Structure 1
Amino acid sequence: MPTKTLRIPTTDGPADAFAAFPDDGKRHPGVLMYSDAFGRRPVLERMATELAGHGYYVLLPNLYHRHGPAPVTELPEYIGEEVRPAVLARLMPVLEAHTADRVLSDADAYLGFLTAQPEVCAGPVAVTGYCIGTLYALNTAAARPDAVAAVAGFHPGFVVTDAPDSPHRLIPGLAAEVHLGIAEGDVTPEIIGELTRALDAVGLGHTCEVYPGTVHGFTMADTDAFSAAGLKIHWDRLLSLLDRALARD
């Protein structure tokens, strides 16, 4: 499976990124993958490569490129509970600097780059995200309904808040099928109900599913939250969504 480390032009300088795609000489649908708060790292590159093996060109950018190449802070090979607070404390200023305006500016750059690749077929793409990456995926899809046909988010947080730019308020701008894979205890039944009502109101195909026996971060094999069963459900739901939503040449 070919992989590349790339530099994507943005309004604030080049963003380093990882890409994986099939080596068959054909063009394939594009998928933009947003990382969790810990950023681009080997576990996500492996996931991007696995997804590419199912017939997709997968682009995994460094969300924090304004602060340097990934990783922008030292990350242990395994982010166990004993080191997690310290890692998050180092990342918090970087994360807080990644404003909604920056997310959308970068999204335009990422989508423009992705759809221009010779290995990517014409037509809309999918956006998938993990943890806070789910918020970025929803922001991207709402800002670019012309370009995004599917959105998947896993173990999201803060998807329904009182803020004017709360992700659930962006749903009327979507033109994409949506799947949210939620960990047990990640959000309340009331929040799931709020999300479902918002998606129902615009008539989008959607699922908001609680994955049994999981905790926040269950897809990430380099953390204590990892659940092999949860990751399998994630692949089943994600691949089914992409197969329905994305056209192939």
Structure 2
Amino acid sequence: MRTPPLVLPLTAALALALAAGSANAFTPAGQDIVYDVNGETFEGYLASAEGEARGSVLVIHDWDGLDDYERQRADMLAEEGYDAFAVDLYGQGNRPQEIEKKRTETEKLYEDRERMRTLTLAGLAEARAQGAAEASVVMGYCFGGAVALEMARYGEADGVQGFASFHGGLATPDGQQWPQGAGPILIAHGGADSAIPMSQVATLAEELEAAEAVYEIQVYSGAPHGFTVFDSDAYQERADAKSWAAFLELLEEAL
């Protein structure tokens, strides 16, 4: 007899996001925040929990730059009781549309890891200056997932208690290594991801084991690169629901 398909319960926040339909129908509940980093202007987005927050989450954008996708995820986290700040790593008004321009912006930061970390930490500091809870988890999507792992390897951000990467880059740069006891870390990866091969997943697991890190890697069958991006050809609801539930579990444990 054929086994019936697994039906996953959606969290209230995820169900609301799906019910909202297209990104064009999304109405932000938080506020855009303009801030300065070493004389440069950036524009993040803050969504605050109602009442006392359970902690805070720094959301790092994909290679599109901060847009309504990250705003919507930040609002979802606020619905779950967390302050959420979507950081801007490109600069105010820099939201590339063409593939080559997106690639150029990410490569600038991949080639200047110190700037990548400085801008991420500046976003975290701005979130706290705006009243976000001190205890934090850093998470990101695609390019942002690679940045989250960069911060996990860096390991020197006060109050950061966990990290998560959703369909993010997983390769450890030359000259870097994982600190002993890093984590907790969640890796959410699509089994059908043609951009980030499973060989990188295996190598990362070996590196994390060698560092005695606290980590979890989840691989979702049939899920392509970008499987959490609403209203995209890559979106897979099952993988999105499972990865979101795993992330909420990480938040519960870390914060």
TM-score by length of 1: 0.81
1:154-189 deviation per Cα after TM superposition (whole angstroms, max 9, x unaligned)? 1123x226x415xxx442266420010111143444
Counterpart residue number, 1:83: none
Q: What amino acid is aligned across from residue 152 of structure 1 in structure 2?
A: A
Amino acid at match of 2:166: F
For residue 53 of structure 1, the aligned residue among 79, 84, 105 is: 79
Q: Does 1:104 align with 2:117?
A: yes
Q: Secondary structure at the match of 1:172?
A: coil
- Equivalent residues in 2 for 1:117-196 (5 A)? 117-118=130-131, 120-122=132-134, 124-143=135-154, 144-157=156-169, 159-160=170-171, 163-165=173-175, 169-172=176-179, 175-186=182-193, 187-196=196-205
Q: 1:73 aligns with which of 96, 100, 114?
A: 96
Change beyond 3 A, Cα 1:230–1:10: same
Structure 2 equivalent of residue 62 of structure 1: 88
Residue 150 of structure 1: SS of its match in structure 2? strand
Q: Deviations over 1:184-231 (max 9, x none)?
A: 143444332221122122322211111122000000114211111111
Residue in 2 aligned with 1:10? 37
Cα contact 1:142–1:173 (8 A) shared by 2: no
**Contact 2:191–2:198 (Cα < 8 Å) also in 1:** no
The answer for the alignment partner of 1:78 in structure 2 is none
- CA distance change for structure 1 residues 218 and 10 in 2, over 3 Å: closer, same or farther? same
**4+ residue runs over 6 A deviation:** none
Q: 1:115 aligns with which of 119, 128, 137?
A: 128
Deviations 1:11-54 (A, max 9, x none): 24221001111222x24411111111112111221111011110
Q: Structure 2 vs 1, CA of residues 129 and 44 (structure 1 numbering), >3 Å: closer, same or farther?
A: same
Matching of residue 22 in structure 1 with residue 32 in structure 2: no
Moved more, 182-191 or 234-243: 182-191
**Residue in structure 2 matched with residue 244 of structure 1 by the alignment:** 253
2:125 alignment partner, SS class: helix
Shift of 1:113: 1.8
The residue matched to 2:118 in structure 1 has which SS?
helix
Question: The residue matched to 1:14 in structure 2 has which SS?
Answer: strand
Structure 2 residue runs of 5 or longer lacking an equivalent are: 1-27
Distance, in Å, in 1 between the alignment partners of 2:205 and 2:224 is: 21
Q: Does residue 193 of structure 2 align to residue 212 of structure 1?
A: no
Task: Flag the 1:53–1:90 CA change in 2: closer, same or farther, 3 A.
Answer: same
Tell me, in whole angstroms, the C-alpha distance in 2 between the residues paired with 1:128 and 1:11: 24
CA RMSD across the alignment? 2.1
3-state secondary structure, aligned to 2:72? helix
TM-score by length of 2: 0.79
Amino acid in structure 1 at the alignment position of 2:46: A
Q: Distance in 2 between matches of 1:135 and 1:189?
A: 15
What SS class does the counterpart of residue 204 from structure 1 fall into? coil
- The Cα of 1:115 is off from its aligned counterpart by 2.8
Deviation (angstroms), 1:62: 2.1
Letter in 2 for 1:217: G
Which residue is equivalent to 2:103? 92
> Within 2, Cα distance between the matches of 1:27 and 1:130?
23
Q: How far, CA to CA, are the matches of 1:45 and 1:178 in structure 2?
A: 23
Code of the residue aligned with 1:91 in structure 2: it is K
